């Protein structure tokens, strides 16, 4: 099995607890560890930088602190290589190393400073969600009561990301913000960890019109394992996930559907899909309904094709 997973919060847990060891096979406090990646065949893992809400004044230095953890504790080991461009991607896919893509969930501390955006790019950030669930200088998130879209500065930020080669993540955006991206982004964009609202009504999920435009613009939708985004009762099973996959495929998304587990960002798990070493259970369930070729598309090829197209050449 080969897997590319578009979202996890390992760095958040490591930011909160500096003792956690990603490479120690005994580590069970992390859903994603190197050993579990090996166990399942996770070839590329996206690592998100996320500043929790309790940081009332997010500063750029908070990002640097996260990036420092990422460099010191994830990619200092030669078993995982930071993927910054197409050459790195090819090298990882054809070699023994695993790959890491560094992402930012919430641009709060960028504060409309293009120097910060450029510096984050140089340090390896390749995908940014402008905001988390709430509003900031750039955009409103999905739970912000005023339900706004992108600000003037935020709209300029979309263009800056497009120009630099930073992919845009719409997963936590309000509906208006989503449609601002759909109109303004010159490049395809991604919902790294969101499911289908038609199957589960949670506001973090995407309605059919949003899914259609993502498909039409050659973006990607990452199926996520957060139980309350999977079914309305919040006690989901693996077979409930297939309903989201079926629905997105029925809308024409079989080449756009990817994985975005949200491992380490969740406190409740789908039974038998509780950490990165258990993707085989999802594969077993899917193999009852889908050809291997499709499962491989969902598990890595759709992500791979997107990265090939949208990572900078070098
Ligand atoms: Zn998230």
What predicted TM-score, i.e. pTM, was given to this entire model?
0.98
Average pLDDT for residues 101-122, to the nearest whole number?
Answer: 98
Residue-wise pLDDT tens digits, 213-263? 999 999 999 999 999 999 999 899 999 999 999 999 999 999 999 999 999
- Residue 307, Cα to own-chain centre: how many angstroms? 13
Rounded to whole angstroms, the Cα distance separating 268 from 193 reads: 16
Question: In this predicted structure, what is the pLDDT of residue 277?
Answer: 98
How far does the centroid of ligand 1 lie from the alpha carbon of residue 172, in Å? Answer: 7
Question: In this predicted structure, what is the pLDDT of residue 170?
Answer: 98
How far does the centroid of ligand 1 lie from the alpha carbon of residue 139, in Å? Answer: 15
How far does the centroid of ligand 1 lie from the alpha carbon of residue 97, in Å? Answer: 26
Diameter of the chain measured on Cα atoms: 50
Residue-wise pLDDT tens digits, 27-37? 999 999 999 99
- Residue 127, Cα to own-chain centre: how many angstroms? 8
How far does the centroid of ligand 1 lie from the alpha carbon of residue 77, in Å? Answer: 26
End-to-end CA distance of the chain: 28
DSSP state of 298: I
Write a three-state SS string for 76-89: CCCCEEECCCHHHH
How far does the centroid of ligand 1 lie from the alpha carbon of residue 95, in Å? Answer: 30
- Per cent of the chain over pLDDT 70 is 100
What SS3 class is residue 281?
helix
> Tokens 């309903």 label which residue?
243
How far does the centroid of ligand 1 lie from the alpha carbon of residue 269, in Å? Answer: 15
How far does the centroid of ligand 1 lie from the alpha carbon of residue 261, in Å? Answer: 10
Question: In this predicted structure, what is the pLDDT of residue 154?
Answer: 98
Rounded to whole angstroms, the Cα distance separating 73 from 75 reads: 6
How far does the centroid of ligand 1 lie from the alpha carbon of residue 266, in Å? Answer: 9
How far does the centroid of ligand 1 lie from the alpha carbon of residue 29, in Å? Answer: 19
Residue-wise pLDDT tens digits, 141-173? 999 999 999 999 999 999 999 999 999 999 999
Question: In this predicted structure, what is the pLDDT of residue 234?
Answer: 83
How far does the centroid of ligand 1 lie from the alpha carbon of residue 262, in Å? Answer: 7
How far does the centroid of ligand 1 lie from the alpha carbon of residue 132, in Å? Answer: 7
How far does the centroid of ligand 1 lie from the alpha carbon of residue 192, in Å? Answer: 8
């Amino acid at each position: 099995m080969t897997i590319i997973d578009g979202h996890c919060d390992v760095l958040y847990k490591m930011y909160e607890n500096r003792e956690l060891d990603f490479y120690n096979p005994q580590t069970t406090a992390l859903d994603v560890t190197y050993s579990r990646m090996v166990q399942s065949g996770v070839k590329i893992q996206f690592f998100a930088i996320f500043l929790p809400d309790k940081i009332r004044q997010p500063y750029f230095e908070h990002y640097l602190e996260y990036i420092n953890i990422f460099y010191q504790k994830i990619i200092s080991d030669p078993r995982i290589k930071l993927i910054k461009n197409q050459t790195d991607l090819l090298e990882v896919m054809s070699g023994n190393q695993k790959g890491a893509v560094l992402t930012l969930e919430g641009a709060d501390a960028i504060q409309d400073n293009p120097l910060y955006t450029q510096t984050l790019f140089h340090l390896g950030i390749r995908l940014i969600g402008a905001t988390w669930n709430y509003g900031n200088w750039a955009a409103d998130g999905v739970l912000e009561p005023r339900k706004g879209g992108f600000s003037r500065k935020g709209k300029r930020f979309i263009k800056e990301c497009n120009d630099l080669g930073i992919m845009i993540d719409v997963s936590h955006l309000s509906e208006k913000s989503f449609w601002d991206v759909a109109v303004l982004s010159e490049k395809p964009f991604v919902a790294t960890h969101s499911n289908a609202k038609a199957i589960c009504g949670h506001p973090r999920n995407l309605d059919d019109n949003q899914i259609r435009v993502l498909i039409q613009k050659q973006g990607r939708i990452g199926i996520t394992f957060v139980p309350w985004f999977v079914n309305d009762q919040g006690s989901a099973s693996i077979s409930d996930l297939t309903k989201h996959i079926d629905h997105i495929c029925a809308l024409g998304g079989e080449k756009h559907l990817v994985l975005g587990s949200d491992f380490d960002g969740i406190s409740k798990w789908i039974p038998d899909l509780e950490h990165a070493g258990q993707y085989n259970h999802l594969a077993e369930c899917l193999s009852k309904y889908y050809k291997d070729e499709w499962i491989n598309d969902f598990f890595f090829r759709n992500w791979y094709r997107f990265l090939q197209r949208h990572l900078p050449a070098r």
